[in-house]
Amino acid sequence: MTRRIELALISLALATALHVDWHLARPAHHRLSLAWPYHWVATALVFCAAGWWIGRRAYGWRVASLVFVAAVVVAQGIEPVLEVLMYEGRLGYPDEPARWAAFGRAIVAATPAYFGCVWLCGRRPPVATTGATPA
């Protein structure tokens, strides 16, 4: 698998996690909803796993940031517009404040989990040894 396809799939997985988070969080009177108050935990775990993968593959901070931003743009920019287009037959953006509240909680939990895992799991260059023994 090429590097670009791998990173695109990771971005898509993170965007999917953010979308599923909305289904976990939104009130139960909606179809496909759970009204789970701790929805952000699942999202943070998925973002942490993605951060681990990117850190272990040594892609670096620029790539990690690009994957993160792409996931957020797809999840909160493109997907809601497509949802309105599909269900309501018009081009627009949903005006539910609960969507932004759920997204805010999820992203506040997912951001440090993701970048923390990128940082902690990143490959470090080998430590150069001088061959000298400590006195």
pLDDT per residue as tens digits for the range 14-24: 999 999 999 89
- Which pair of tokens denotes residue 9? 């799939």
Mean pLDDT, the chain, rounded, equals: 90
* pLDDT single digits (tens) 14-69: 999 999 999 899 887 777 788 889 999 999 999 999 999 999 998 899 999 999 99
CA angle 26, 75, 28 (to 5 degrees): 10
**pLDDT over 90 at 76, yes or no:** yes
Quote the pTM value: 0.85
SS3 132: coil
Helices and strands (H, E) in the chain, number of each type: 5, 0
- In this prediction, residues 65-79 reach a mean pLDDT of 96
Is the separation of the CB atoms in 97 and 26 below 8 Å?
no
Residue with the two structure tokens 């901070």:
61
